[in-house]
Structure 1
Amino acid sequence: MAISFKKVFCFLVLIYAIMAIPVFAQEEEEEDWSKYDDMELVDDKNVRRFAKPTIVGLSPTRFLSVSWDMQMPYQMTFSDIRLPASSGTGWRVDEEGNVAETARARFTGGIRFNSNIPVISKSNIVWQTGLNYMRVGYSIDEIQTNRITGASPSTYLSLPAVLNEKGLNNINWTNTVFLPMSEQHFLILQGAMDLSGTYDFGFQPLETIRWSLAAVYGKRVSELKRWGVGIARTYRVGNMNYVPVIMYDVTSTNRKWGTEILFPARVHGRYAFNKNSLLLFGYELEGQSYRVNEFSINDNSFEIRRGELRPRVELQKQLRGPFWAHFQAGYRIDWSFDADELPGGREFFRGFFGNQEFGMKNTLNNALYFNIGISFVTL
């Protein structure tokens, strides 16, 4: 019996979580606190000292960043739509959907904007907030339909045609609080809200807001090493899930090599050519739950559970002053593009091992991708 890549990866996640403590949090956006590396209380035995929110050698914090993401062409397959899936007529988790439509994505991608702005930066608390936007536009052709007619949107709508016209949009608001407990120990708390779907700016029911949380306990061992362990409620691979999360950041004594690990969200090795350029290599999980307005009928919310695994390398280089450029190249591996029906927009927990049925089973072939951008940073 064939073992799927997703099941193998999930098994490795659990083994890593058990064996790798010490560790950190998967955060919906990585928080790098190097702006505050110089925070230190005066040398007074009566003054309480607090852990600094970073270590030396980490890649620069991006206060503001604009980038362009693009995937190379690939094939897409879509099953018939089975609604309501909650009635027991949907696609089983272990079931392969039929091929009701096929299409070719000539282009996938779009602009991305990220912000990470300090609101409070004191020795005993640091609060950062950020508004983010991500566009996943599609140029799809060669659509071939062989749908089974029935009492569902499949009788008059084509999902690849909707994606081609509307694309997928995500607006995210993230808040992260760093709370030092002592000179070494700290807590990180993060909350995020996402509004994702085929909407045109602002035209989406607010009940489809999806929220994520993370809580982490960590230790700053030295200026060259920190670790943390926690738990997160996340949509990283499309479905809402609860996962153990790990951080392990290390910089070598010569400051050339290092790690920036936020397992399972992202794992990177780091090499610094000099103080003005560095290379990251590893992977990142990316995803969210996107409401497709055109299929959301009878008070339901039809949502694509988009999840991607992205092995990649990234070159970061200083342009001038606080402005840095980055170029990223990698391979986009389809984790999930299935769809769920949520009556009344209410979310449910499937996790890695739940057996709730899907309303639609879809597959994207894997593809090369590129991302290029410019950022306003702090070291």
Structure 2
Amino acid sequence: MTCSRFFLRFCGGLAAGLLPVAAAWAQVTPPGQVYPAPAAPADTTAVVDEQEFATPSVIGMGPSKGLVVQYQRMPRFGVNSNAQVVGLRDYATEADKNARLVIKGYIPLLNNPHLKLIMGINYEREEFQFRNPPSDYELYDNIENKGLKTLGAQLAVIRPVNEVNWYIFRAKGELSGDYQSSALGLKDYLRFSSEFLYGWKRSPQFSWGVGLQLGYTFGRQSIYPAVLYNRTFNPRWGIEAIFPARVTLRYNASPTSLFYVGYSVDGFNYIIKLRKPLQRTGASGQPEPGTVALRTLELRETEVKFRARWERPIFDFLWLGAEAGYRYNHAFDAFDRTNADREKIIDSKLAGAPYGSLEVFITPAIVKAFSRQ
């Protein structure tokens, strides 16, 4: 099933099954793409027995997201691959389609003012279609219309320490690749990421923190520093940043209309099962000594998006997000997952291209809507 067909089928049952579930999910502030998303603008601190507890959100930030459905699409763009080992060849073509479907939801496990535990689940599917298939090229033919899927679960801990300090810890496990449910192998497809941030709430308009991330933002698993900086300068302007992964300038046109502009760095790591084994060869054309035929490849994809976004409510609890921008691809490389050297097999570049996406998400306002009935 293609991304677009799956998206339409899913949206067809949205009204029937989505809202009752989201009413329970929206009781706490859910995590966002990288870190927990902000609470509603009025909830920048929690008060218990006259004791205030700090949070990383600030006044003016957009509403929290309890359940998210997003569909993203790009037009035709060029693809250029260079072989990195003997026995393979270079190849260039065009991708007629690159689409991504994302579904995310968050379930509150504990919602105390001084401690919040949130479980998140996510499903993502990315699809490619190349011009004039089959190309008889090892990488393209093995991801043509295959569906590169990610199925994950995470646990986020939000711990306000006092009126100034807070920290966030998140651990996430994902199965990522072109797997079929009947052929799932945890050893092959399992990916793990985590992060920790410690921060200071200087005022209702300013919160910042520092920490570390372990993840695949830059294609391969690595540890890198992270700086969170949320600040509202005046009733109209603010900034929301988790550097280096994302920096966004916010403009509050009204309480129900928000504009964003900035960039984000996204990394994807997929395991690709080859339809035909691939043998690395030496200059003589014979198999390289000490190597065996490859049955899987590791595809590392890293992209930078320069984006503009607009959010506004459709109903009290249901919001629409429209985004457009330019995608710059830093890497689309295939690595040997079979032999011990983990050598790069194919070095690819996807040409820069514009993109657009539509998103619907449910906010905690659904609780108020149900209470009025």
Both proteins in one fold, TM over 0.5? yes
Confirm or deny that 1:31 pairs with 2:21. Answer: no
One-letter amino acid of the structure 1 residue matched with residue 55 of structure 2: K
Q: Distance in 2 between matches of 1:306 and 1:211?
A: 17
Listed one character per residue, the Cα deviations across residues 160-183 of structure 1 (whole Å, up to 9, x for unaligned) are: 122213031111222211112221
Residue 317 of structure 2 is matched in structure 1 by: 322
Distance 2:89 2:195 in 1: 38
Q: Residue type of the partner of 1:358?
A: K
Q: Does 1:309 align with 2:304?
A: yes
By how many angstroms is 1:376 displaced? 0.2
Amino acid at match of 1:218: G
2:326 alignment counterpart? 331
For the residues of structure 2 that align with 1:54 and 1:232, how far apart are their CA atoms?
19
Which amino acid is the alignment partner of residue 193 of structure 1? G
Alignment deviations for residues 63-98 of structure 1 (CA, whole Å, 9 cap, x no partner)? 10111100111011223364xxxxxx79xxxxxxx8
Q: Secondary structure at the match of 1:162?
A: helix
Counterpart secondary structure, 1:292:
strand
Task: Compute the displacement of 1:62 (Å).
Answer: 1.1
For 1:134, the equivalent position in structure 2 comes to 124
d(CA) in 2 for partners of 1:28, 1:276 = 22
SS in 2 for 1:62: coil
The one of 156, 162, 167 aligned to 2:147: 167
Cα deviations by residue, 1:40-80 (Å, 9 ceiling, x for unpaired)? 1132xxxx542235222112211101111001110112233
Q: Which residue does the alignment assign to 2:363?
A: 377
Distance 1:202 1:29 in 2: 30
User: What's the offset of the Cα at 1:38?
Assistant: 6.0
Q: Which among 34, 37, 40 is matched to residue 47 of structure 2?
A: 40
**Corresponding residue for residue 188 of structure 1:** 168
1:1-379 maps to which residues of 2 (within 5 A)? 29-34=34-39, 37=44, 39-43=46-50, 48-80=51-83, 82=85, 100-142=90-132, 158-201=138-181, 203-207=183-187, 208-253=189-234, 255-294=235-274, 301-343=296-338, 357-378=343-364
Aligned partner letter, 1:286? D
For 1:31 and 1:296, locate their aligned partners in 2 and report how far apart those are by CA, in whole Å: 42
Alignment-derived partner of residue 12 in structure 2: none
SS, match of residue 288 in structure 1: strand
In the superposition, relative to structure 1, how do residues 218 and 134 fare at CA in structure 2: closer, same or farther (>3 Å)?
same
What is the Cα deviation at residue 32 of structure 1? 1.2
Q: Is the 8 A contact 1:291 1:302 kept in 2?
A: yes
SS in 2 for 1:305: strand
Aligned-partner SS, 2:145 = helix
CA contact (8 A) 1:73 1:104 kept: yes
Which structure is higher in strand share? 2
**SS in structure 1 opposite 2:37?**
coil
Contact 1:102 1:143 in 2 (8 A): no
Which residue identity lines up with residue 321 of structure 1 in the other structure? Answer: D
Moved more, 34-43 or 174-183: 34-43
Q: Shift in Å at residue 117 of structure 1?
A: 2.6
Query: How big is the shift at 1:28?
Result: 5.4
Q: Which amino acid aligns with 1:50?
A: F
The gaps in structure 1 that reach 5 residues or longer are 1-25, 83-88, 91-97, 146-155, 349-355
Distance in 2 between residues matched to 1:136 and 1:267, nearest whole Å: 24
Change (3 A) 1:73 1:117: same
Deviation of the 1:201 alpha carbon: 4.0
Cα distance change, pair 371–138 in 1 and its aligned pair in 2 (3 A): same
Aligned residue type for 1:196: S
SS at match of 1:161: helix
Structure 1 residues 121 and 219, CA, compared in 2 at 3 Å: closer, same or farther?
same
Q: Deviation of residue 296 (structure 1)?
A: 9.3
Matched residue count: 317
Q: Percent identity?
A: 23
Q: 1:101 to 1:323 in 2, by over 3 A?
A: same
Bigger mean CA deviation after superposition, 213-222 or 200-209? 200-209
Partner AA of 1:177 in structure 2 = V
Alpha-carbon distance in structure 1 between the residues aligned to 2:52 and 2:236: 29
The one-letter code sitting in structure 2 at the alignment partner of 1:244 is P
Distance 1:242 1:196 in 2: 19
- Which residue type is aligned with residue 230 of structure 2? D
**1: distance between equivalents of 2:270 and 2:208?**
33
Matched residue type, 2:248: H
For residues 202 and 182 of structure 2, what CA distance do their matches in structure 1 show?
Answer: 45
